[in-house]
Amino acid sequence: MHSDNEMLRMRREKLDTLADMNISAYPARSARTHTIDNLLANEDAYIAGEERVIIAGRLNSKRRMGKAGFANLRDAGGVIQLFIRKNDVGNDAYELFKLLDLGDFVQAEGTCFHTRTGEYSVKVEKLVLLSKSLRMLPTVKEQVLEDGTVKRFDEFADIELRYRKRYLDLLLNPERRRTFEVRAQFISAIRRFLDERGFLEVETPVLQSLYGGANARPFVTHHHTLDTDFFLRIATELYLKRLVIGGIERVYEMGKNFRNEGMDRTHNPEFTLLEVYQAYADYNDIMELTEEMIRMAAQAIFGEERLTFQGEVIELAGPWRRASMLELIQEHAGYDASHFDADRLRAFYKQHELEPPAHAGPGKLIEELFAHFCEPKLVQPTFVTDFPREVSPLAKRREDDDRFVERFELYIAGYECANAFSELNDPIDQRTRLEAQAALRDLGDLEANVVDEDFLEAMEYGMPPTGGLGIGIDRMVMLFTDNVSIKEVILFPQMKREG
């Protein structure tokens, strides 16, 4: 078996041979007229019509028998066999065929026919090299099991390697492209839904002089010309609210956000977030919007209002359950936390051998109980309402009980998929809450909000009652593609540096 370095040397030598034959290993263009899936879908018509076709793709296999040979050519749409005979293509083209390696991109011109064994093929009359592959593709080995299923063995059984070299993962496992096709379809469906309802898509700064809009630790970078540190945005919220203040009543942005936090199966430091704001709406209106939008996306992609995740059928037809955080804690932990007494809550933590978060008040303690006891059990779509004000610095207080705010989170299959508020539009209340968050930062909470004076000034000009929504696109795609790791739905996830 040849080493990688030896294989590189041998293929580089072929480049010299090709140059001696006046054959360009990397021509600028292709003359492709047909895709392979089109040939496969119209087999009888192409054979009967004897139409000349020009196809292009990557060489998957090759075998020679004297003055003739066969090869399999793959493009994005499928695989077809090539039949290449020296008498048909001429001596120079056949010499080229002999020099080809698996992984090379070639262009083949000819007509479709059936071989003597009945295999649908292209009889090649002209062969062109489009791109020389200098590295050998990893070998895929297959084993047919007793039940008839096929088990694959290749070096990309190493999950970390698949993420680092996604291009090879997609080549060896083309079925994984479906995940990213669904991702694109989901994003397209969401945009179409919002556009049709009069929402304006906008773009706000990724580099921000002051970050905000979420509880998260930011990434910091330095602008050399201005000699100033900037932050990669953790959310788009505060800029989008400025636009609502400026008179754009329905606005949204779908884009990358960055949070300097740990990585696990549901968190990646770079992620895609949808944020939506609608003037003259509250969180009840946004609940209806969210439910309708996700149902519509499922219908557009799958043709039905349900999906299957890890063997569990998720019914999206609705109406979806709505339940308060305290109600769910009572249901799943058997504990009534409505007293909001921090000492009693800490005693419950101790009773269950749980570590309470440092410097936490009763609201934060209640939220953490919900996360521990309830989140994994919320399989069918559930809107969780009535969050403590302490953990929701940007949401409106509930008029009948100011310990809570008008906020919901959507949970599906145990995942938080959306977060929404009746947005706080009282600039005085907003300042008080942000200053309370800043005090938590001084105590060591690096994820607490900061005070954004420019945003507070904008609010003082007046903001209408507004409903806001944030949806993690990556987590929704995980659900829609039955993947339990966020890295499976991001083409190039962040990875620890090798070596």
Set out the domains of the chain in order of their start, with CATH numbers: 4-131 (2.40.50.140), 141-172 (no CATH), 177-320+380-488 (3.30.930.10)
Rounded mean pLDDT, 138-153: 66
DSSP string, 114-183: E-TT--EEEEEEEEEEEE---SPPPPPEEEE-TTS-EEEE-GGGSHHHHHHTHHHHHHH-GGGHHHHHHH
pLDDT more than 90, % of the chain: 79
Residue 393: pLDDT band by 50, 70, 90 thresholds? Answer: confident
**For 167-209, how does the pLDDT look when each residue is reduced to its tens digit (9 = 90+)?**
988 988 888 899 999 999 999 999 999 999 999 999 999 999 8
- pLDDT attached to residue 142: 59
- pLDDT attached to residue 292: 98
Rounded mean pLDDT, 419-436: 91
Tokens 């034959």 sit on residue: 21
- pLDDT attached to residue 166: 92
- pLDDT attached to residue 323: 98
- pLDDT attached to residue 160: 82
- pLDDT attached to residue 4: 75
- pLDDT attached to residue 496: 84
- pLDDT attached to residue 305: 97
**For 443-463, how does the pLDDT look when each residue is reduced to its tens digit (9 = 90+)?**
777 667 778 899 999 999 999
Residue 156: pLDDT band by 50, 70, 90 thresholds? Answer: low
Check residues 169 and 320 and name the one with the higher pLDDT. 320
Nearest alpha-carbon partner for 455 in 257, 245, 278: 245
Pairing state between β 200-201 and 250-258: parallel
- For residue 440, pLDDT over 90 is answered with no
- pLDDT attached to residue 136: 87
- For residue 1, pLDDT over 80 is answered with no
Ramachandran angles phi, psi of 160, nearest 5°? -60, -40
pTM across the whole model: 0.89
Query: Comparing 150-164, 372-386, 401-415, 443-457, which segment has the lowest mean pLDDT?
Result: 150-164
pLDDT more than 70, % of the chain: 95
With vertex at residue 201, the alpha carbon angle to CA 195 and CA 204, rounded to the nearest 5 degrees, is 170
Rounded CA-CA distance 331/336 in Å is 9
Query: Comparing 166-170, 181-185, 275-279, 350-354, which segment has the lowest mean pLDDT?
Result: 166-170
Rounded mean pLDDT, 74-89: 96
Residue 154: pLDDT band by 50, 70, 90 thresholds? Answer: low
- For residue 303, pLDDT over 90 is answered with yes
Tokens 């030598």 sit on residue: 13
- For residue 146, pLDDT over 80 is answered with no
With vertex at residue 267, the alpha carbon angle to CA 193 and CA 411, rounded to the nearest 5 degrees, is 50
- For residue 484, pLDDT over 70 is answered with yes
Residue 138: pLDDT band by 50, 70, 90 thresholds? Answer: confident
Residue 2: pLDDT band by 50, 70, 90 thresholds? Answer: low
Tokens 């990557």 sit on residue: 58
**For 101-114, how does the pLDDT look when each residue is reduced to its tens digit (9 = 90+)?**
999 999 999 999 99
- pLDDT attached to residue 195: 98
Q: What SS3 state is found at 22?
A: coil
Query: Comparing 95-104, 205-214, 483-492, which segment has the lowest mean pLDDT?
Result: 205-214
Rounded CA-CA distance 24/128 in Å is 9
- pLDDT attached to residue 76: 93
Residues 6+ away with beta carbon under 8 Å from 69: 62, 63, 83, 84, 85, 97
Nearest alpha-carbon partner for 447 in 211, 208, 146: 211
Strand boundaries in 18-131, DSSP class E: 53-65, 68-75, 78-85, 105-114, 120-131
Rounded mean pLDDT, 329-343: 97
- pLDDT attached to residue 327: 98
Rounded mean pLDDT, 417-429: 94
- pLDDT attached to residue 219: 94
**For 200-249, how does the pLDDT look when each residue is reduced to its tens digit (9 = 90+)?**
999 999 999 888 888 889 999 999 999 999 999 999 999 999 999 999 99
